[in-house]
Amino acid sequence: MSTTPFGWLAEARENRRSAGLQRRLRPRSADTELLQLAGNDYLGLTRHPAVTAAAADAVHRWGAGATGSRLVTGSTDLHAELEAELAGFCGFEAALVFSSGYAANLAAVTALTGPDALIVSDAANHASLIDGCRLSRATTRVAPHADPEAVAKLLAGHDGRALVVSDSVFSVDGDAAPLTELADVCREAGAGLLLDDAHGLGVLGDGGRGAAWAAGLAGREGTVVTLTLSKSLGSQGGAVLGPAAVIDHLLNAARTFIFDTGLSPAAAAAALAAVRLLRERPDLPERARAVARGLHSGLTAAGLSAVRPDAAVVSVRAPSPQDAVAWAERCRTRGLHVGCFRPPSVPDGVSRLRLTARADVSDDTLDRAVRTIVETAPAGA
């Protein structure tokens, strides 16, 4: 046994290394020539001139940071404009912007529940939702993945506040939750429905208005949606959308809103410009979905095990964590950057390459990406 306080870290590191689970940072350069299918820039807007110009202008006008929490000095006209734009675009009464999607999820889950509440959470939910459940002090029951009947059984007999929590599009495999069925279960049980639409905004729904819009749930009294501004909108930050009463409650009760420095004006301006661009380019979501379908069809035609995408994420299974890491590295040496998901990031313990479709990828580039992944695949993939 180690005699130093952190001596146990060496053993933990070795255990991760031997299991193929040791992670490291790899900073990317601004002018990299790698084809990026690892990030979440689904619409290709993070470098769009209108988005970067809006961010640069905001830095010159407002400064580099928000200077304080939203309730002190961290709210600007840009934040108010962005909240109004998001709510209107996605079909909700009101919105509240946070410094990250993670903070938005923690806020929504903890502030809308509490020790006397019941949370029913999908087994494949994002870590931020899981952490929100843990911090809420509510009774949390985990439902089997995408199983509305199981959710109904877990809600049965509970008399107090209840909240069903689910990703709208799950981040690992890119499959969509059965939102209509979940909404019906919640309505019958008198429970609220909280949807994390991080991977639906900009990809699903009319003109990219999100999964809740596509399912006819936007603006419903019992539905609350969380968003990230760092994926389809190419910026950074998060938001919660819902009834005005819910947003007012979060403003007054959510710790990750009250005690966190506000989103930088530059990020708010970039996200605002991206939403307005999306209004002008309703073709972008369909193109992102088409690229995802192209990735899936090309990979499965070659015999690889890829999950059919419901949005813009394509998951390709690898035989082991070590195979996944080596596969991703071989892709990188051939000019393609893909995601590599391993335990504990994957709830089922199966390692994967995770590909993210982008609306600005050409058909020729798509074909090249498929060839690269197929030709570098390990035995047994």
Does 279 have pLDDT greater than 70? Answer: yes
Q: Are 133 and 119 in contact (CB under 8 A)?
A: yes
Q: Residue 348 above 80 pLDDT?
A: no
Contacts of 236 (CB under 8 A, 6+ apart): 100, 229, 230, 263, 264, 267, 270, 271
pLDDT (average), residues 93-103:
98
- Return the pLDDT at 320: 92
Please state the rounded mean pLDDT for residues 338-363: 90
Backbone dihedral region for residue 380 (phi beyond 0: left; psi -120 to 50: alpha; all else: beta): left
CA–CA distance, 79 with 296 (Å, rounded to integer): 38
Cα 316 from Cα 336, distance rounded (Å): 15
| pLDDT at residue 315 tops 90 | yes
pLDDT of residue 359: 97
Residues 6 or more apart whose Cβ sits within 8 Å of residue 187 = 222
Write b or e for each residue in 93-109: b if 16 or more Cβ atoms lie within 10 A of its Cβ, otherwise e. ebbbbbbbbbbbbbbbb
Task: State residue 381's pLDDT score.
Answer: 85
Residue 345: pLDDT band with limits 50, 70, 90: confident
% the chain with pLDDT above 70: 99
Q: How far apart are CA 300 and CA 307, in angstroms?
A: 9
Domains of the chain, CATH where assigned: 49-280 (3.40.640.10), 282-375 (3.90.1150.10)
Separation of alpha carbons 115 and 136, rounded Å:
7
Quick one: pLDDT band at residue 123, thresholds 50, 70, 90?
very high
In this prediction, residue 157 carries a pLDDT of: 87
Average pLDDT, the chain: 95
Q: Which tokens sit at 284?
A: 């972008």
- pLDDT of 1 strictly over 70: no
249-262 residues labelled b (16+ CB within 10 A) or e (exposed): ebbeebebbbebeb
The arithmetic mean of pLDDT across residues 208-227, rounded, is 97
Instruction: Please check whether residue 225 is in contact with residue 210, taking contact to mean a CB–CB distance below 8 angstroms.
Output: yes
Alpha helices in the chain (DSSP H): 8-18, 49-62, 77-90, 101-111, 127-136, 148-155, 179-189, 211-214, 244-253, 255-258, 265-280, 283-301, 321-333, 363-375
Mean pLDDT score, 33-48: 95
Distance between CA 364 and CA 354 in Å, rounded?
A: 20
Q: Are 130 and 138 in contact (CB under 8 A)?
A: no
pLDDT band for position 2 (cuts 50, 70, 90): low
pLDDT tens-digit series, residues 232-254: 999 999 999 999 999 999 999 99
What are the pLDDT digits (tens) for 42-83? 999 999 999 999 999 999 999 999 999 999 999 999 999 999
pLDDT band at 22 (very low <50, low <70, confident <90, very high): confident
Least confident range from 92-106, 202-216, 345-359: namely 345-359
Nearest Cα neighbor of 277 from 117, 47, 51 is 51
What is the pLDDT averaged over residues 222-228?
97
